[in-house]
Amino acid sequence: MALQNPVIYTTRRYTAPAMTLHWLIAALIMCGFSLGWVMTDIPGFPPIKRQYYTWHKWIGVTIFALAVLRVLWRVTHPAPPLPSTVAPWQRRAAYFTHTLLYLLILAIPLSGYLMSSASGKPVVYLNLVPLPPLIEANKALAQLFNTVHVTLNYLLLGLVTLHVLAVLKHQFIDRDGLLSRMLPFLNK
């Protein structure tokens, strides 16, 4: 099947703060996920593993704070409209996926924080700000929140993969300029 002529996309881009928050959160999620993957495979609890857990918690708190800012920004600054060539079912899928992504970038750090609280392990952001435990120490709840945290992370991994594949489809197959909305250096 031959590619059709590219569609010229003329609608505006996301705002600079929206782009910055998007890419910063994405980078932190990749770091936090990678660190979580590595730290849980280290046997025992040597000092490096404790340090990785500390950094992982800092990343989670930072993601949560930035996600709150992102949601507030998004509520007050609507996304640019999708190209008219995007099918209605794709519009609904994009809306559902983005909503779920926003929920996950809030729920995952919260589930990690609840897991730390239930485990009786403090969260001290940047070794400066002790965050209060949200619940009493409870081994069963700690295990439950661990399961929730891991499951939500894998759900996020699947959704991010779907998101990236959809963006690549729009960029290289549909050629509708959709990616230029979120990349400040990409020409339309």
Residue 3 pLDDT > 70: no
The residue that leads in pLDDT, 27 or 180, is 27
Residue 124 lies in a domain: yes
Residue 134 lies in a domain: yes
Residue 7 lies in a domain: no
Residue 9 lies in a domain: no
Beta-carbon contacts of residue 41 (< 8 Å; ≥ 6 apart)? none
Domain enclosing residue 89, as ranges: 16-181
Residue 90 lies in a domain: yes
The Cα–Cα gap between 20 and 122 comes to 30
Contact 32, 56 (CB under 8 A): yes
**Mean of the per-residue pLDDT values of the chain:** 92
For 26, other C-beta atoms within 10 Å of its C-beta total 16
The Cα–Cα gap between 22 and 16 comes to 10
Q: What is the mean pLDDT of residues 64-85?
A: 95
Q: What percent of the chain lies above the pLDDT cut of 70?
A: 93
Predicted model pTM = 0.90
Q: What percent of the chain lies above the pLDDT cut of 90?
A: 86
The residue that leads in pLDDT, 84 or 7, is 84
Residue 10 lies in a domain: no
Residue 85 lies in a domain: yes
Q: What is the pLDDT of residue 10?
A: 44
Residue 139 lies in a domain: yes
Count of domains in the chain?
A: 1
